[in-house]
C-alpha cells in the first residue's frame, strides 16, 4: 500500500487503526504470493541520501529497480590482485616438514631371532631332529650334511661341521637334546666366526691441514639386491647413532635411483647430492658428494653406485674411476657389497667379481628374514674373506641391523 492510498483512506474518514490493519494484511498477502511462486523475499535496500528523480515518460512512472549485481571474482578481472596472505598463512607455509626418528640400533637383531623362532626355524629344527636320535647311522649324518648344504652353508663348512659333530658325539656320548643343542650351537658359532671385526668405518679423520675429513662409504652390488634401499636404511642407522650424513646418488644409469635415494634422505633430514640429468658421470657425482661432505663438516658420506654387471673390465673401469676421484677429497674408509641372501650360492659368483674389483671390506646381506638360507652368512665370509657387517631383516625402514653372530645362531636354533 503506497502513501497516496493511505492519505485517501484517511481523508474518507477511516480510523488510523483500521488503515494500519489493512496495510498489514496487504503486506502479508504479498509475501504469501511470493512464497507460493518459489521466490524468496529480500531485504529492501537502504534509501539513498539523495533521492533519484524518476525518469519521465509517457506514463510518468519510474522503471522497476534492477537486481543487485553479482559478486565479482578476482580471477575474472584482468590486473586484479588477490588479498595478501596473512602472517599466520605465511608461518604455516614456512614450517619445515616433520622428520622421522629412526629406531635405536641396539637390539634390532633381536627381531630376526624372534622371526626365526615364530617360523619354526627349519634349519635348526632339522639339525636337532637328526642329532637327537638314539643311534646315528651313516644315513643320518648324510641327512645332516644335506640339510646344511640346502641352507647354503657351503660344501666345505658343511663337511667341517659334520665331522666335528661326529667326533664329539662319539667321544662324549651325547644323547640328551639339551647337550646336543649346546654342541650344535658351539659348532655353528665357531663357523660363523665371532672374532671377525664387524665394526663400520664411519669415523671422520683429520687432514694434514687440520681440517676434518668425512668417512666415505662406497656401496656396490648388482641391481635387484636392494642396494639403494640399503643406502637409505644405513643413513637411518647412522642418524640414530647421532652421526651427520650426506648421500651421493652416483647410480646415474637407473632412472629412479636418485629420486628414491633423495626420498630416503629427506625423511631423516639428510641431504642428497645428485645430478640434474640421467646418465651423468658417476665419478663426478661421487666427487661432488665428498666435497659437499667435507665443506659442510659431516661425519659420513654414503655413495650409491650403479649395479650393472655387463663385464668385468667395464665394472673395473667405472668403480676404479669413482675410487680415484673420491680419494682426492677424503680417504675411502669402507666398501660395502650388498648381496641378496635368497640368491644363495648363485649370488657368490657375482660377489667374487665385485670383491676383486672394488676391494670390498664388508658384506650387507639383505632379505635375511627367511630361515632356510641362513647359511649364506658362512658361505659368503668363507668365499670372499670379509665379514658380514649388516643384515636386512625385512621391508621396514629400520629393518637393517649390525650383524651379531650369537644372536644369529640363537635365532636359527630356536624352534
366 is in an annotated binding site: yes
Nearest alpha-carbon partner for 346 in 227, 224, 256, 250:
224
305 is in an annotated binding site: yes
381/33 Cα distance (integer angstroms): 95
Nearest alpha-carbon partner for 403 in 378, 372, 385:
378
210/161 Cα distance (integer angstroms): 51
35 is in an annotated binding site: no
Full DSSP string of 76-95:
GSTT--PPPPPHHHHHHHHP
Which residue spans within 259-357 are E strands per DSSP? 271-273, 300-304, 332-340
28 is in an annotated binding site: no
Full DSSP string of 28-96:
HHHHHHHHHTT----PPPPPPSSPPPPPP-SS--PPPPPPPPPPPPGGGSTT--PPPPPHHHHHHHHPP
222 is in an annotated binding site: yes
Structure letter (DSSP) for residue 342: G
225 is in an annotated binding site: yes
CB 402 within 8 A of CB 390: yes
304 is in an annotated binding site: yes
40 is in an annotated binding site: no
248 is in an annotated binding site: no
Burial of 388 (0-12, 13-18, 19+ CB in 10 A): buried
| Three cell numbers, residue 112 | 630376526
57 is in an annotated binding site: no
Q: What is the dihedral of CA 181, 192, 234, 325, to 10 degrees?
A: 180
φ/ψ of 404, rounded to 5, equals -115, 110
340 DSSP β-pair partners: 366
369 is in an annotated binding site: yes
Half-sphere exposure (Cβ direction) of 326: Cα atoms closer than 13 Å: 31
Half-sphere exposure (Cβ direction) of 85: Cα atoms closer than 13 Å: 8
398 is in an annotated binding site: no
387/373 Cα distance (integer angstroms): 17
Which residue spans within 109-267 are E strands per DSSP? 205-206, 212-213, 215-220, 245-249
349 is in an annotated binding site: no
228 is in an annotated binding site: yes
Binding-site residues from annotation for GTP: 221-228, 304-308, 366-369
Q: List, as residue ranges, the binding site.
A: 221-228, 304-308, 366-369
Amino acid at each position: 500500500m503506497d502513501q497516496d492510498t493511505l492519505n485517501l483512506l484517511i481523508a474518507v474518514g477511516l480510523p488510523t487503526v483500521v488503515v494500519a490493519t489493512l496495510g498489514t494484511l496487504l503486506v502479508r498477502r504479498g509475501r504469501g504470493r511470493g512464497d507460493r511462486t518459489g521466490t524468496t523475499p529480500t531485504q529492501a535496500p537502504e534509501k539513498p541520501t539523495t533521492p533519484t528523480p524518476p525518469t519521465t515518460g509517457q506514463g510518468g512512472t519510474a522503471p522497476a529497480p534492477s537486481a543487485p549485481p553479482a559478486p565479482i571474482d578476482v580471477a575474472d578481472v584482468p590486473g586484479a590482485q588477490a588479498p595478501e596472505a596473512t602472517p599466520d598463512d605465511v608461518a604455516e607455509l614456512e614450517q619445515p616438514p616433520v622428520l622421522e626418528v629412526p629406531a635405536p640400533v641396539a637390539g634390532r637383531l633381536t627381531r630376526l631371532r624372534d622371526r626365526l623362532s615364530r617360523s619354526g626355524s627349519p634349519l635348526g629344527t632339522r639339525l636337532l631332529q637328526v642329532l637327537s636320535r638314539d643311534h646315528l647311522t651313516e644315513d643320518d649324518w648324510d641327512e645332516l650334511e644335506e640339510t646344511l648344504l640346502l641352507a647354503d652353508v657351503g660344501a666345505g663348512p658343511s663337511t667341517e661341521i659334520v665331522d666335528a659333530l661326529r667326533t664329539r658325539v662319539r667321544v662324549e656320548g651325547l644323547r640328551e637334546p639339551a647337550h646336543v643343542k649346546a654342541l650344535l650351537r658351539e659348532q655353528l658359532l665357531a663357523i660363523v666366526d665371532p672374532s671377525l671385526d664387524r665394526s663400520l668405518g664411519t669415523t671422520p679423520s683429520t687432514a694434514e691441514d687440520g681440517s676434518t675429513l668425512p668417512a666415505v662409504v662406497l656401496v656396490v652390488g648388482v641391481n635387484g639386491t636392494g642396494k639403494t634401499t640399503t643406502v637409505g636404511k644405513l643413513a637411518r642407522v647412522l642418524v640414530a647413532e647421532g652421526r651427520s650424513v650426506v648421500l651421493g646418488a652416483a647410480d646415474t644409469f637407473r632412472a629412479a635411483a636418485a629420486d628414491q635415494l633423495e626420498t630416503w634422505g629427506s625423511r631423516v633430514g639428510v641431504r642428497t647430492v645428485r645430478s640434474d640429468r640421467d646418465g651423468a658421470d658417476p665419478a663426478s657425482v661421487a666427487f661432488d658428494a665428498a666435497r659437499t661432505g667435507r665443506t659442510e663438516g659431516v661425519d659420513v658420506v654414503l655413495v650409491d653406485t650403479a649395479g650393472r654387471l655387463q663385464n668385468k673390465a667395464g665394472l673395473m673401469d667405472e668403480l676404479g674411476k669413482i675410487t680415484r676421484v673420491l680419494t682426492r677429497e677424503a680417504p675411502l674408509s669402507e666398501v660395502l657389497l650388498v648381496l641378496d641372501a635368497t640368491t644363495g650360492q648363485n649370488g657368490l659368483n657375482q660377489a667374487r667379481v665385485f670383491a676383486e674389483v672394488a676391494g670390498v671390506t664388508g658384506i650387507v646381506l639383505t632379505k635375511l628374514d627367511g630361515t632356510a638360507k641362513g647359511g649364506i652368512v658362512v658361505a659368503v665370509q668363507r668365499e670372499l674373506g670379509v665379514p658380514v657387517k649388516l643384515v636386512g631383516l625385512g621391508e621396514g625402514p629400520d629393518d637393517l641391523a649390525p650383524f651379531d653372530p650369537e644372536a644369529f645362531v640363537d635365532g636359527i636354533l630356536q624352534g
